[in-house]
Structure 1
């Protein structure tokens, strides 16, 4: 995920992707995973985690290679969807295998801690690896970095993953999962469409109607079923609802900030992908520290105080970044990014504690799925909403010079990527004028997005403080 963030500007120009296509290239991964995590967890119980894990790795490998070979933005979206399907098979299998292999509570805690730390480290080095690849090779290799890793893991996994597992005879409700995926994608597409002028009203309201209808059907099935895919009764507990909101908000803020800052650094200030990745390194490194720190503070001060504080500090960091000058790497940017990553990670761990503490032991698995879905959906929706706000603000901010305004197609002002593509069709002098206007507009739009996000997070912090009880 984080490797792809620094590759977006290169992908945009290489594939001539529109602003909407760029968002879908990133969004489809998290959206597909959010809808498939719960049913894939059920499938792992049914056929065994080892089998699901190995097949998920194989699908992930094939989809990654396919993504590296595509020649159009639409095909890349399809490849990303297939990659997400494989990832959704892998994620619940990992946790199931850890629970099976490590029977001792302390050993299991160490294993889970190692898994979490490696995940955070992967997020931290992702932008640097992506930046290095893009500096020395084409964007295609960004997707091929998965291939050697999986080629190593597959045979080792075949040998070491436990073969004898108790499997469940419960029904695997993939039909319900597909309904949920359709609902999520329909609603998100409608949300995007309402901010774009080149989409017909029928398409906007049609996708919204399909999305809402699918989600309504999914909810009715869950309420009537004796063995629902998702126990909606868990949402009656305020702490679980607050935890889900925290997971959505924290994951969305982190993904959205990485997405927008990477674009400004490369499009506006001409940073290389490697340099852009290095700028975001404090943000990602801090996430590896936030989890253990959060556990200590929650035990001492409680979820309410820790969650509220983490959100308020995160909001302050966003305001600080909005005022920062990204043309040079200064102390304000480093400190703000580090504190943002640290406190967003603290907020994410607090969300897990809130959800798991409120859930009864017999429903811990369902509660864990809710938290995982919140995180994955937050990643997708965060980029979507940040991207929408950025695009809308950019369109209002860009001032086309009168002498070239008539030469720019309507599509050329929808995003800075579209403007850069339009500039290639102009003579050098006109192109330089257009690019300068685009850079000014994008910096202004990015500032507005960070301020808006900070304000929303501050409001949610107050709501969390009110809703959660002191205990």
Structure 2
């Protein structure tokens, strides 16, 4: 094996844990709710803090890599990732796990651009670089695909913290291998690194999401979340305004003035919202409602993620043959149809129908993601292709984060309005039961009357299934509406997009 292919093998080892960690906790919601006494709101933060922090840090960490060299960036990122993994595995409560997951995202935001830069600088031949980048992208998709399966297996046989402990030997091996294999790289001290703006952007996003989550609780608290939400919005608005007026912006938001590129960005976010939000909803239903183990839930969900990986290559052929507008619109329409079908499908009694619909959803989301990439990169001027790629990457991560938020909030609201509380519960118990199905199951375990406990579990399952149906119908409807705008704004053929 030549040295460059050895380096690519090392890059794969480094990148795989980062991609797996994005989805590894999706099947862990019931376990974490019991082991850490985590509320529904805590669980959403535990899962989506990873994507949200990464979304804000990818660009400045990429600039830091240009300044330090990707070798040093990878080593620092891996060290942070390893220590954060240990902290997450030993977390005594939900708050500590949220903080350590955010630290994991900081490390991941360093590792990801370091691996990509490593591929680009190691392979000088265009054909070899294209093959290496294809392998890199496949690792990202495969890691996200097997994340729930890895999480399910470890939760089935080991302590829940094992989903993080497996990162540590990989990190130690990777750091040693990098120091030995990767050649020395000179630093570029002229490269600017504006971490302050990125951190401010993250604060704005987190404040806005915290406000949204808090306002949807049943406690009735409204004023403080509203103030925090407005503050977050002002921070985000100010950040975008400053970037538009800057002569050297971290993110060139002026590109979004082009309708095709803006629609491509919307499609990228929507596709990620759909796949990640549905995956979280499904993981909970399979375990809470259908009593599947985490491992069986991960296996049941595997066709969805595998199909999403095949959607991109299929879409590439379809775009060339039928044009961007038809393929993009068709992909979103099929996603909408899949959601409507899954809303009416009983996963337990009709598993083959569910798998067929999940395959359709995965393929259509993969097609939509490729179509969004085509729209974004074909529209952007050649000298701004890096900025366009950065916008697309941020859209992916924000879409993943917002998918958990939006699906989680809709699920919570509809569930709380649908659950029929059995007689005999205390007022404090009723508030918990109405907040989420995980809280209802926790309350049921502490009820001394078996018949009341069974009634409560049945009521919670019924409410969750009804909420699942409503959420997917709403999602399918919104996708159907989006398909109209995609048809209106996207060009018919990729060649028709003008560079300017």
Q: Please state which band the TM-score falls in when normalised by the shorter chain.
A: over 0.9
1:235 paired residue number: 256
Partner Cα separation in structure 1 for residue 78 and residue 84 of structure 2: 10
* 2:293 alignment partner, one of 259, 272, 276: 272
2:454 paired residue number: 432
Aligned residues: 471
Output one character per residue of 1:9-56: Cα deviation in whole Å (capped at 9) or x when no partner.
Answer: 101111111111111001111110111111111111122111111111
Output one character per residue of 1:326-376: Cα deviation in whole Å (capped at 9) or x when no partner.
Answer: 124622111111111111011111111111111112111111111110001
Partner Cα separation in structure 2 for residue 320 and residue 462 of structure 1: 20
Partner Cα separation in structure 1 for residue 220 and residue 69 of structure 2: 45
1:93 paired residue number: 114
Q: Does 1:404 align with 2:447?
A: no
- Contact between 1:279 and 1:329, CA under 8 Å: does it hold in 2? no
Q: Does 1:413 align with 2:434?
A: yes
* 1:459 alignment partner, one of 481, 484, 493: 481
Q: Secondary structure at the match of 2:345?
A: coil
Q: TM-score normalized by structure 2? A: 0.91
2:159 paired residue number: 138
Q: How does 1:227-306 map to 2 (within 5 A)?
A: 227-306=248-327
Output one character per residue of 1:124-151: Cα deviation in whole Å (capped at 9) or x when no partner.
Answer: 2222221111111121111112222222
- Contact between 2:218 and 2:435, CA under 8 Å: does it hold in 1? no
Output one character per residue of 1:193-233: Cα deviation in whole Å (capped at 9) or x when no partner.
Answer: 22113252222112112201211221232123221111121
Q: Secondary structure at the match of 1:327?
A: coil
Q: How does 1:183-202 map to 2 (within 5 A)?
A: 183-198=204-219, 200-202=221-223
* 1:205 alignment partner, one of 200, 215, 226: 226
Partner Cα separation in structure 2 for residue 90 and residue 470 of structure 1: 37
- Contact between 1:193 and 1:199, CA under 8 Å: does it hold in 2? no
Partner Cα separation in structure 1 for residue 426 and residue 185 of structure 2: 68
- Contact between 1:319 and 1:454, CA under 8 Å: does it hold in 2? yes
Partner Cα separation in structure 1 for residue 125 and residue 415 of structure 2: 54
Output one character per residue of 1:372-418: Cα deviation in whole Å (capped at 9) or x when no partner.
Answer: 10001100000110000000000011001123364624133111011
Partner Cα separation in structure 2 for residue 2 and residue 69 of structure 1: 19
2:342 paired residue number: 321
Structure 1 residue 160: deviation in Å?
2.9
Q: Secondary structure at the match of 2:292?
A: coil
Partner Cα separation in structure 1 for residue 383 and residue 238 of structure 2: 26
Deviates more, 1:225-234 or 1:307-316: 225-234
* 1:441 alignment partner, one of 463, 466, 484: 463
* 1:338 alignment partner, one of 347, 355, 359: 359
1:58 paired residue number: 79
- Contact between 1:398 and 1:413, CA under 8 Å: does it hold in 2? yes
Q: TM-score normalized by structure 1? A: 0.97
Output one character per residue of 1:260-283: Cα deviation in whole Å (capped at 9) or x when no partner.
Answer: 011001001110001100110101
- Contact between 1:68 and 1:142, CA under 8 Å: does it hold in 2? yes
1:28 paired residue number: 49
Partner Cα separation in structure 1 for residue 188 and residue 231 of structure 2: 35
- Contact between 2:154 and 2:162, CA under 8 Å: does it hold in 1? yes
Q: How does 1:118-197 map to 2 (within 5 A)?
A: 118-164=139-185, 167=188, 169-197=190-218
Partner Cα separation in structure 2 for residue 5 and residue 466 of structure 1: 35
1:357 paired residue number: 378
- Contact between 1:243 and 1:355, CA under 8 Å: does it hold in 2? yes
Partner Cα separation in structure 1 for residue 428 and residue 458 of structure 2: 16
Partner Cα separation in structure 2 for residue 406 and residue 181 of structure 1: 38
Output one character per residue of 1:142-175: Cα deviation in whole Å (capped at 9) or x when no partner.
Answer: 1112222222222222233343357361321111
Q: How does 1:302-313 map to 2 (within 5 A)?
A: 302-313=323-334
Structure 1 residue 75: deviation in Å?
0.6
Unaligned runs of at least 5 residues, structure 1:
none
2:14 paired residue number: none
Q: Does 1:375 align with 2:375?
A: no
Partner Cα separation in structure 1 for residue 222 and residue 144 of structure 2: 39
Partner Cα separation in structure 2 for residue 285 and residue 366 of structure 1: 29
2:410 paired residue number: 389
- Contact between 2:265 and 2:392, CA under 8 Å: does it hold in 1? yes
2:13 paired residue number: none
